[in-house]
Amino acid sequence: MSSSNRSPLQSRALGAEQDAERRGARLHALEGVWRPSILFAIPVILLLLVPTPLLPVAFAVAPLYFVLRWLALGSPFPRTQINPFLLVLLATFAIVFALSPKYPEGIVIAADLIAGVLILFVVLDHVHSVRGMWSAAMLLVLIGAGLAVITPFTVPFRGAPMIPIPFFYEQNWTLLFETTNGNVMAGALAPILLIALACLRVPERRIRAAAALALVPITLILFLLQVRGAWLGVAVGLIVWAALYNRWLVPALPLLLLGALALNNALGGMSPADFLYGPVGTELSESVDERQELWGQAVRLLSQSPLFGIGVGGYTYVAPFAPPFAERGLKDVPHAHHLFLQVGLDTGIIGLLSFVAFWLALAVGVWRGYRGSVARDLAIGVLAAMAVIVTHGWGDSIFWGFKAAFIMWFVLALALLFDKRNKKIYNATPLL
């Protein structure tokens, strides 16, 4: 159709289409310029996650990623639905951290949080396709397999396992790396297991094969560590996975539970009552009753200082000297054993509410992905992994201020990829 025969509406539509094509070409060029930024971000993330004498350098250079992004792409952050909640959390954390004594634990929590935000946006900045989403998920699975492989050399297999395996637990393993708590390692591997199951559904054969191989060490180590919180989290995650994948699988779950109980009895394992409530009588046992005591104290401490909590990293310096532990003279009270209460104690009620809203917004975005047609199987795995973290976090707080924190942020980064508004990340005018 010649230009003289077009209506004004058609001319405007054509002009808009041409503008969109020009913006798309410019966008593609800018993505090429920005892509090497990952080579800067990864070393910074590693320095933040593994405290070394270079940690102050990592704190200093981490903001440069967002400054460079602003200069190159016109915005320091990708535009997503979680930005308001994340910015409130970061602002609240910064204020409370500035007002708090500089506890060593607080510095670790700050490093983990900055590394987590970098992980969120680095994944978002460098994944632009469904295949990229699966590749990012597989990267997390490979990290989990690597953690599982080194576990016998960094985690002491001690204590009274629920299912005794004498020829294994009586061995004196030589630890080659810094000792890691078994609860932390098991909690880190638990959500990765569900992501690995999702990767078994990827169309690409190589990823399916790699996921199947990675599942072997991850599952084996989760079994050998015998951490109740991780097992319970995986169980809930599997229920979510089964319910979303095929609702007809849900009736089979009670049969699987009965089979697991029968196997437990045959192997002489812990009774269900002991599994749920744990042994009572140690200084800080793992029973539900004593966890409720910890949670009650956390709620009281937060109600006494709702705006700023007790300071970032201040739990071990405050909780042992507050009721009910002060009367008992207990000193070994490491954390509140509850992810969300621990966040509230460190950042105050505003930080807690923004953290919860952040989680809910991500869950809604993944749910939309599940209801849509984009990487539906991955959406199921991410929702199941998020269920694992929440379930485990209801009785422990290893995803905040511990080495497992980066696993949570990586899972949340995968969730953020389903953000409905993330069709065009680089939609601002570049400054350069």
Confidence class for position 397, pLDDT limits 50, 70, 90:
confident
Most distant pair of Cα atoms in the chain: their distance: 90
Q: Which of 80-84, 258-262, 270-274, 396-400 has the lowest mean pLDDT?
A: 270-274
pLDDT in tens, 334-373: 778 889 999 999 999 999 999 999 999 999 999 988 887 6
Instruction: Sketch the domain layout of the chain as residue ranges.
Output: 33-416
Could you identify the residue written with the tokens 């590394």?
Answer: 115
- pTM (2 d.p.): 0.83
Residue, of 336 and 122, whose pLDDT is higher: 122
Confidence class for position 99, pLDDT limits 50, 70, 90:
confident
Percent of the chain with pLDDT over 90: 34
Instruction: Give the separation between CA 360 and CA 174, rounded to whole angstroms.
Output: 43
pLDDT in tens, 209-225: 999 999 999 999 998 88
pLDDT in tens, 63-83: 988 888 888 777 888 888 889
Q: What is the DSSP string of 118-176?
A: HHHHHHHHH--SHHHHHHHHHHHHHHHHHHHHHGGGTS---S--SS--HHHHTS-PPP-
**DSSP 8-state class, residue 332:** -
Q: Which helix (H) or strand (E) holds 337?
A: none
Q: Any idea of the CA torsion for 253, 189, 349, 286, to the nearest 10 degrees?
A: 80
Whats the size of the chain, residue-wise? 432
Give the pLDDT of residue 11: 59
Amino acid letter, residue 39: L
Average pLDDT, the chain: 80
Cα angle 280-284-288, degrees, rounded to a multiple of 5: 55
What value does the mean pLDDT take over residues 156-183? 66
Q: Which of 171-185, 220-234, 302-316, 341-355 has the lowest mean pLDDT?
A: 171-185
Q: Please classify residue 155 by burial: count the beta carbons closer than 10 Å to its beta carbon, then call 0-12 exposed, 13-18 middle and 19+ buried.
A: buried
Q: Is the per-residue pLDDT at 382 higher than 90?
A: yes
Q: Is the per-residue pLDDT at 146 higher than 50?
A: yes
Q: Please classify residue 277 by burial: count the beta carbons closer than 10 Å to its beta carbon, then call 0-12 exposed, 13-18 middle and 19+ buried.
A: middle
Q: Is the per-residue pLDDT at 287 higher than 70?
A: no
Q: Is the per-residue pLDDT at 257 higher than 80?
A: no
